[in-house]
Structure 1
Amino acid sequence: MLGVWALVAFVVVIVVWNALFKRNIGESMIMGFLAVCAFAVFGGLPEGESAGGAIRAAVLDSLQEEVTFAGLAFVFMSFVLARTPVLDRLIDLLNSVLGRLPGGSVFTATVAGGIFGAIAHVGAAVTAAVGSVTVPWMKKSGVRPELAATVVAGGAGMGVSFPFSATMFILVGGLAAQGAMEPDEIVKPLALAGLWCLGYRLALAYWLVRRNKIAPIAPEDRLPLRRSLGNGWTSLLLFVPIIVPLVLTRGPLATALGNWSGVGDDLKSPVELADGTTLPAAPFAMPDVISLITWIPVLMIALVFVLGRKHLPRTASGWLDTIGGAAPSFGVIGVTIVAAFSASNLLGDLGLAGQLETVLSGLDAPAWLMAIAIGVIIVAIAIPLTASATMAAVGPVAVIALAGAGVPVPVAAAAVLIFASTEGASPPSGAPIYVAAGIARVDPVKMFVPLLKYYCAPILGMGVLIATGALPV
């Protein structure tokens, strides 16, 4: 059971280094990987493998993963997007449409949180961007400051519950390294899971508006629809880089394009690719030739450059300053992803998959009970850690445990990410809580019970329903 003990050490080291010693997650992941390396060096690998060779191969494989590129690309895109007014114009557009309704400020904050989450993904950033505009609107509409802050902080988790967050890439990379799932398989179930969570938040917003008799946004605080649409219609193009690759790889257009290009034709013999991978003699599909997790960030970055061109640097020194500002985020996320993949590869060499299968085969628990247990564990771990750190530490193991109870791996992965998305609504350590409290000028302690009652516990329940198939994805 060497692999299982190495996994335990990996998780413990990350939690202690990050939560107890207050070090960043990148450094914590390095320490966790070094702990796994120690097991490879002193515990021994299967006969014929050297520890040094296995460690070197694990790191090299992680550096060559397309998920590593995609994770860093999305970090860069989010950083550049934050330097433009594109998302602010999108909020103005939402406010023009929803603000005239009773409680329109609450609905605007909820929908904007979903849209920002699907694009920017960082919980604290989503809270800051949405809250800085919508919290004053809510307070003017008669919403209590602690409730306004709760709504904004409760929406932070949508940065994790929609593709393509760094947290998703960390989880998917670990699963792909173990051969449990292809990266593209998570996109559809996670997108649908995210929509279920957004639907719940909208239903909650409706109930809160009715219960608290919240008024519409005052006319002087919202732009006429024609004006906001004229100023911000281009912000709606942010969804094009997501829609185009999806249409080209799935559905009738993808089938027609595949047949026309010959991608769907039967292959008479195996094909060896440039990287040494051998494809079997079987029909290709469009997702084999157009990678969603590669092309979506590439197209998104290109579009942000076009939409925000007037607000981005125009000199080499300006771009050096911009890239320098993004460097800390690149460093932490990059190290986290590479360390997570490397650890997964090395744990595989230590026989973790087979050992976990042996352990899980002894657990005769139904899927619903396993989902509840895993959900509670992940929510508990996500209180001191971030969602990314939680997925790096226990994400792949949680998915495999659910798969052992009969849950399809992509569905299990979506459910686990939904569990982890409670980080922003899990008192007392979620960063979005304090960001929202600062904007609303309220004691964050007053938000703890509402966050647990309105967001944390219900989202945990939704993850269980997704894992058990009650909410189809």
Structure 2
Amino acid sequence: MIAIWALLAFIASIVFWNAVLKRNIGEAMIVGFVVVGAFAGRDAPKYMWEGFVNSMQEEVTFAGLAFIFMSFILAKTPVLDRLIDILNSFLGRLRGGPIYTSTVAGGMFGAIAHVGASVTAAVGSVTVPWMKRSGVSGELSATVVAGCAGMGVTFPFSATMFILVGSSTVTGMMAADDIIVPLAIAGLWCLGYRLVLSYYLVRKNGLQPIAPEDRIPVKRSLRVGWTSLLLFVPILIPLLLTRGPVAAPIAHYTDLVMSSALSLITWIPVLMILLVLFLGRRHLPKTSTGWWKVLGDAAPQFGVIGITIVAAFSASAVLAKLKLPQQLTAMLESLSAPSWLMAILVGIIIVIIAIPLTASATMASVGPVAVAALVGTGIAAPVAAAAVLVFASTEGASPPSGAPIYVASGIARIDPSKIFMPLLKYYCIPILGIGVLIALGLLPV
């Protein structure tokens, strides 16, 4: 049980350091990492060093910093302003238009890309600045984008789904195809909830349509800023190469599987930075002194976000070394309860596991046992599998370690800790509830 205690201590130390002592989240994550390491005893130096090395090799670490740099470059050019003018010309007359757009885009992109951090990066890079320009706070903007990251897991055909249905335990209870329709419907339930939440957030925060005098006519905004629409190209190119009609011929003629060879979370920010440098070249510094000032202005955000991501992934690696998945699996196997209580317990356990782990890692470690536990109470296997994937989809909204939290915060340039409670309240706990209702048949799939 030492790993379970380590996880609880990790969360408690971060909350105490950040919320009680009012220190920044970067410091709090370092403290949490040290606390977790202490549970390793004599192996602490080895486990902590290996965890640190692993975290430095994580793509999300690079992506979080790359998007911060991109946002600072964009701020020095009129490129994004022109794109936002176009979006406002079309949707500015709607109350909370950017929030609804971000939510729907998260569902659409999630159904294609499936990786939470990729969904956050691709959607957030456009909608977060748009929301802020429309009067939405940075905290709410980041909350909405990070809260939609999990939709990549709740739609077929994610790697997480295949990890679950491909396990010997689950294949013995159902065919792989049996989950496609239940999971698609479960994903629609989750999207529907997020749209209802968007309606509530728009009203709660008193968001208003963009004033008519601030909306540029469509023809003029397109004429002036059409080149800003090219900002979607860095999103579309990797997407088409990895999952579009181009991917199959490439794989056929070169034996190269682009979805494995080309990382969305790495190449989207790289291509966006290159495009912004080109589109904004007239407005960017021409001297090394000017560029040094841009980097100096960005440095504080680089520090906090970078340290936070590295510490989060380092702690996750140590928890894995302490055998957290195995210990939680043993706990699941020992449970014996009626279906309603089992659904709640399984959901809570998976949500807790998804705090330090990704959804894929969560499914690989405890997903099959969780499905078996639900089936043992009389729940149909496809329904149980869909519910378990919904539980795991909270990874993006599970503080303090959800990678999309830090990607969204980096784009919005806010302290990540400020969206911890909103994410728990608006996304993590309600999505847990949706999973329970699906498992019990109260939300049919």
Q: Please, what TM-score do these two structures have when normalized by structure 1? A: 0.61
Deviation at 1:314, TM superposition (A): 1.9
State how far apart, in whole Å, the 1-side matches of 2:294 and 2:218 are. Answer: 34
Change (3 A) 1:458 1:354: closer
1:111 to 101, 105, 108: 101
Counterpart secondary structure, 1:90: helix
Q: Is the 8 A contact 1:197 1:462 kept in 2?
A: yes
State how far apart, in whole Å, the 2-side matches of 1:53 and 1:118 are. Answer: 33
Counterpart secondary structure, 1:17: helix
Q: Is the 8 A contact 2:4 2:327 kept in 1?
A: yes
Change (3 A) 1:200 1:95: farther
**Letter of the aligned partner of 1:358 in structure 2?**
A
Q: Is the 8 A contact 2:96 2:209 kept in 1?
A: no
Q: Does residue 341 in structure 1 map to residue 313 in structure 2?
A: yes
> What does 1:7-86 align with in structure 2 at a 5 Å threshold?
7-41=7-41, 50-86=43-79
Any stretches of 5+ residues in structure 1 without a counterpart?
Answer: 43-49, 136-148, 169-175, 181-191, 264-284, 379-389, 424-429, 436-450
State how far apart, in whole Å, the 2-side matches of 1:52 and 1:108 are. Answer: 47
Deviation at 1:207, TM superposition (A): 9.2
Q: Is the 8 A contact 2:92 2:210 kept in 1?
A: yes
Deviation at 1:114, TM superposition (A): 7.3
Partner of 1:257: 250
1:243 to 206, 217, 236: 236
Deviation at 1:250, TM superposition (A): 1.7
Deviation at 1:230, TM superposition (A): 1.5
State how far apart, in whole Å, the 2-side matches of 1:65 and 1:14 are. Answer: 22
**Letter of the aligned partner of 2:131 in structure 1?**
V
1:328 to 264, 276, 300: 300
Q: Does residue 159 in structure 1 map to residue 136 in structure 2?
A: no
**Letter of the aligned partner of 1:461 in structure 2?**
P
Using the TM superposition, name which of 229-238 and 366-375 deviates more: 366-375
Counterpart secondary structure, 1:465: helix
State how far apart, in whole Å, the 1-side matches of 2:358 and 2:254 are. Answer: 42
Counterpart secondary structure, 1:319: helix
Counterpart secondary structure, 1:309: coil
Change (3 A) 1:193 1:20: farther
Q: Is the 8 A contact 2:102 2:145 kept in 1?
A: no
> What does 1:45-444 align with in structure 2 at a 5 Å threshold?
50-99=43-92, 104-108=94-98, 110-111=100-101, 119=122, 121=124, 126=128, 130-131=131-132, 133-135=133-135, 155-162=141-148, 219-263=212-256, 285-364=257-336, 368-370=343-345, 373=348, 391=355, 404-406=369-371, 407=385, 412-418=391-397
State how far apart, in whole Å, the 2-side matches of 1:110 and 1:363 are. Answer: 40
Partner of 2:405: none
Deviation at 1:17, TM superposition (A): 0.7
State how far apart, in whole Å, the 2-side matches of 1:29 and 1:68 are. Answer: 14
**Letter of the aligned partner of 1:16 in structure 2?**
F
Q: Is the 8 A contact 1:416 1:463 kept in 2?
A: no
State how far apart, in whole Å, the 1-side matches of 2:294 and 2:331 are. Answer: 49
Q: Is the 8 A contact 2:103 2:148 kept in 1?
A: no
Change (3 A) 1:56 1:420: closer
Q: Please, what TM-score do these two structures have when normalized by structure 2? A: 0.64
Deviation at 1:228, TM superposition (A): 0.7
Partner of 2:117: none
State how far apart, in whole Å, the 1-side matches of 2:190 and 2:140 are. Answer: 11
Q: How many residues align?
A: 360
Q: Is the 8 A contact 2:391 2:431 kept in 1?
A: no
1:461 to 430, 433, 438: 430
**Letter of the aligned partner of 1:289 in structure 2?**
A
**Letter of the aligned partner of 1:53 in structure 2?**
K
For the aligned residue pairs, the C-alpha RMSD in angstroms reads 4.8
State how far apart, in whole Å, the 2-side matches of 1:195 and 1:287 are. Answer: 25
Deviation at 1:260, TM superposition (A): 1.0
Deviation at 1:358, TM superposition (A): 1.2
State how far apart, in whole Å, the 2-side matches of 1:208 and 1:34 are. Answer: 37
State how far apart, in whole Å, the 2-side matches of 1:246 and 1:340 are. Answer: 28
Change (3 A) 1:466 1:320: farther
Deviation at 1:40, TM superposition (A): 1.7
Counterpart secondary structure, 2:246: helix
Counterpart secondary structure, 1:252: coil
1:93-118 Cα distance to aligned partner (Å, 9 max, x none): 12222345xxx344356437877975
**Letter of the aligned partner of 1:29 in structure 2?**
M
Change (3 A) 1:286 1:328: same
State how far apart, in whole Å, the 1-side matches of 2:187 and 2:272 are. Answer: 20
**Letter of the aligned partner of 1:157 in structure 2?**
T
Deviation at 1:295, TM superposition (A): 1.4
Deviation at 1:297, TM superposition (A): 1.6
1:276-333 Cα distance to aligned partner (Å, 9 max, x none): xxxxxxxxx3222112222122112112222332332221111111111111111112
Any stretches of 5+ residues in structure 2 without a counterpart?
Answer: 107-119, 153-159, 165-184, 372-384, 403-408, 415-421
Deviation at 1:241, TM superposition (A): 1.5
Deviation at 1:199, TM superposition (A): 6.2
Partner of 2:169: none
**Letter of the aligned partner of 2:240 in structure 1?**
V
Q: Is the 8 A contact 2:96 2:208 kept in 1?
A: no
